């Protein structure tokens, strides 16, 4: 009998999803959520053929040093800035992610944050819970900014950005976007969105949503200079990655009334939130849960499993993982060479 592959799952997953992996491989799944140090990660990955990892697991050349067993890393997320794809490709390790299945859920959540920030839901809820709604409330208390009829700006117009844009028609909004590549005319029409340069986007948006992948080149793509172009009545939402936004500059803009409100789901140093942001009532904060609906998290887990099994040449899609990031590795394997 041939030896079974071994797969490590770095964080607890749905038991029935894990059971599906265990039909094909020897499974080592973490039972509790934990942060793995680089050394722990290195050791765990050294002893397995495949792994399902989360965004907190950073895999780079040093994690892979001396590892000649690992064949597949399946990221439990669509974004993969935690993975050094070049290093994985050099090491002949296939990397996969979970695109598409979370588009609509994450777009829903962008709207949840936008509406909550614009209409001050977070602060109002804290006020009610604290028992402060005692007597009559002033007519001009808790005034927020309107969403309907305003201009929605989207920075980054991939599939999630497009899903955010499509929802805006229900709010009767004008939609502007900026993206390195323009959408096709038919897609712009479907999203009812118009491409503008970045400065125009910043100047004209009443509500700006960041939906672009993080890369070193777009670190702090929104910093003090960009915030200075925005309207003082504007609302900024970040559902992408914390590193896109200079949090200290954002806190200063909010504190000084140069921006009305913000909704943040992601942070530069997760799980640490910049203390200046914590001190501001006009920021709605959530713990990186854009894709966290029951259905979508399950679909992501299933896709991550399909990726790892297929990447190991197992299961119904053997050799054809649904979401490879560096398919060069697969091509090289077929040719029996290094990528």
Residues that bind ligand GLV in the complex, under the rule CB under 6 A: 77-79, 102, 290-291
CA distances in angstroms from 306 to 3, 96, 119, 244, 287, listed in the order given: 20, 10, 41, 31, 27
- 96 neighbors 311 (Cβ within 8 angstroms): yes
Three-point CA angle 313, 314, 316, nearest 5°: 115
Catalytically active residues are 241, 270, 288
Q: Least distance (Å) from ligand GLV to the CB of residue 266?
A: 7
Nearer to ligand GLV, 28 or 100 (CB): 100
- 164 neighbors 211 (Cβ within 8 angstroms): yes
Nearer to ligand GLV, 35 or 331 (CB): 35
Nearer to ligand GLV, 30 or 270 (CB): 270
Name 209's bridge partners: 154, 237
Q: Least distance (Å) from ligand GLV to the CB of residue 197?
A: 27
Q: Least distance (Å) from ligand GLV to the CB of residue 89?
A: 20
Nearer to ligand GLV, 27 or 78 (CB): 78
Nearer to ligand GLV, 313 or 322 (CB): 322
* Distance in angstroms (rounded) separating the CA atoms of residues 162 and 70: 36
Q: Least distance (Å) from ligand GLV to the CB of residue 13?
A: 15
Q: Least distance (Å) from ligand GLV to the CB of residue 339?
A: 24
* Distance in angstroms (rounded) separating the CA atoms of residues 2 and 217: 46
- 221 neighbors 155 (Cβ within 8 angstroms): yes
């Amino acid at each position: 009998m041939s030896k079974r592959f071994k797969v490590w799952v770095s964080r607890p997953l749905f038991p029935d999803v894990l059971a599906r992996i265990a039909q094909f491989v020897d499974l080592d799944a973490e039972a509790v959520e934990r942060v793995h140090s680089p050394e722990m990660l290195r050791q765990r990955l050294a002893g397995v053929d495949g792994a399902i990892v989360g965004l907190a697991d950073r895999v780079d050349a040093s994690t892979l040093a001396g590892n000649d067993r690992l064949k597949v890393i399946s990221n439990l997320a669509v974004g993969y800035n935690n993975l050094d794809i070049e290093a994985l490709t050099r090491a002949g390790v296939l990397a996969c992610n979970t695109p598409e299945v979370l588009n609509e859920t994450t777009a829903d959540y962008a709207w949840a944050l936008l509406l909550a920030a614009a209409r001050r839901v977070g602060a109002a809820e804290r006020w009610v819970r604290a028992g402060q709604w005692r007597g009559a409330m002033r007519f001009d208390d808790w005034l927020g900014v309107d969403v309907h009829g305003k201009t929605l700006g989207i920075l980054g117009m991939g599939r999630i950005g497009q899903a955010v844009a499509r929802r805006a028609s229900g709010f009767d909004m004008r939609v502007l976007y900026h993206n390195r590549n323009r959408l096709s005319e038919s897609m712009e029409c479907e999203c009812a969105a118009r491409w503008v340069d970045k400065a125009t986007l910043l100047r004209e948006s009443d509500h700006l949503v960041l939906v672009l992948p993080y890369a070193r080149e777009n670190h702090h793509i929104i910093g003090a200079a960009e915030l200075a172009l925005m309207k003082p009545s504007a609302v900024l939402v970040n559902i992408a990655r914390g590193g896109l936004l200079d949090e200290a500059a954002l806190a200063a803009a909010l504190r000084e009334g140069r921006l009305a409100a913000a909704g943040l789901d992601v942070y530069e140093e997760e799980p640490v939130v910049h203390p200046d942001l914590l001190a501001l009532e006009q920021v709605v904060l959530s713990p990186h849960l854009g894709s966290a609906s029951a259905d979508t998290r399950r679909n992501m887990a299933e896709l991550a499993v399909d990726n790892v099994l297929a990447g190991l040449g197992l299961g119904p899609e053997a050799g054809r993982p649904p979401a490879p990031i560096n398919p060069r590795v697969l091509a090289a394997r077929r040719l029996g060479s290094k990528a």
